[in-house]
Structure 1
């Protein structure tokens, strides 16, 4: 897949570590201009770096104002782990992500690609459809009451699971939203990946974070995920819309087979 993103200008959130850092490295290596966003300063593998707290709507709006035009791709990778309070987690993983995406669409080039980094944790979204529909009206001012009403607190990591369920459903819902401009949206759902926040998952989820490891040959790495993101950013995927690629070592397929007795 050499040079499939050469010359493209791509904005990646969460570039200071893990999947975001590796995605920035791969894109830069393949000739893309990378605009990095993170709350922590890191200038590795980016042409321009923007420090921003994606839990703060005012900061997001300010970021949108200073970003350049003609952006060919947006990678919504930044996110908080399940050890964080539910309110803060949903501000970053959901409300901030949506605000940034909608705000940046006018600055996207025609034919641009939006890639949402979801998770295997969102695999059970069909069971959360009622809450997902209710979240259409979710905003910063009613977040606490929503968490209580729909039982998506940080207990047992539920807020994290819900944020990824929302993201997968939202990706499908926006399959044709910007079709008149050729802008597409897809998602990548990693399984357990060896990044700095993996211990947070193990601490919160316990055996749930690793219980299916016996069905895998190994844990994932950022090097497994970044090329999939790059593929979705390339012109090779212009007719892939609203799709979620499960890059998880076969874990989602295992769960599906188990659920249907296969």
Structure 2
């Protein structure tokens, strides 16, 4: 039972391994005996089997990176992302958080054969997904990175500042692809972290406002750590979660449950956000 999660000897890819949740995930996977191949824009200090510099805004770099890993890939962890609040150009945020993530995943899937697992980090900031499913299905109908980008540029009113829409897109894509990929023996899920103490937090505070971020950290009353977010990612891609598929998993200390049962005051977040916009 020492390898109950089943990672020993497995070949995995972690995108976004330089810092934050991705770095914590890569470290945990290394400790579990996995052969970890890391991708990021900045070089990681984690002692992995390999590291490849990528730019999720550049599909050619993703194709080259996956080609360099080659062989059988058992699991993919999509942990790279840009923060919201207008800190980055909307199209850059869309490219990194969704279009590049989707393109990278599409390159890895053929290497998985008849069994594999994929998990992506979405966000509680993407909670509006259910109100815009028809719009997101239009985006999902696009084939390839450039076609997806063309759609986004033609629908900038929907994309807005990029963050919320990109995270909604990850959520809808995960649920849609879950029903498709499981027929090939491949699972896909995503997580919804509450505010987490990563290097991106300073940007979240500067662009969205600390009051908004703090409101999303209830009822836990604090930010989570990258390690607390990495554990569920590793679990959901493990052998123990063999039929967990198409799931949008809150990893938020009870935020979603509190919101659903009226114990989290969403107006605090909305009111603070309006003040930021004023």
Return the TM-score normalized by structure 2.
0.86
Q: How far apart are 1:211 and its partner, in Å? A: 1.8
State the match for 1:131 in structure 2.
135
Superposition pairs of residues 1-262 of structure 1, within 5 angstroms: 2-3=2-3, 4=5, 5-82=7-84, 83-136=87-140, 137=142, 139-148=148-157, 150=158, 152-154=159-161, 159-206=162-209, 207-258=211-262
CA contact (8 A) 2:99 2:149 kept: yes
- Mapped partners of 1:108, 1:246: distance in 2: 26
- Mapped partners of 1:69, 1:27: distance in 2: 19
Partner secondary structure for residue 43 of structure 2:
coil
- Mapped partners of 2:45, 2:115: distance in 1: 28
Tell me, which stretches of 5 or more residues in structure 1 are unaligned?
none
Partner secondary structure for residue 236 of structure 2:
helix
- Mapped partners of 1:167, 1:199: distance in 2: 23
Q: How far apart are 1:65 and its partner, in Å? A: 2.2
- Mapped partners of 1:42, 1:186: distance in 2: 25
CA contact (8 A) 1:43 1:49 kept: no
Equivalent residue pairs, number: 255
CA contact (8 A) 1:202 1:210 kept: no
- Mapped partners of 2:21, 2:118: distance in 1: 16
- Mapped partners of 1:111, 1:217: distance in 2: 39
> What's the C-alpha RMSD, in Å, of the aligned pairs?
2.0
- Mapped partners of 2:185, 2:216: distance in 1: 38
- Mapped partners of 1:238, 1:124: distance in 2: 29
Q: How far apart are 1:213 and its partner, in Å? A: 3.5
CA contact (8 A) 2:11 2:35 kept: yes
Tell me, which stretches of 5 or more residues in structure 2 are unaligned?
266-278
Please list every run of at least 4 consecutive aligned residues from structure 1 whose deviation after the TM superposition is greater than 6 angstroms. none
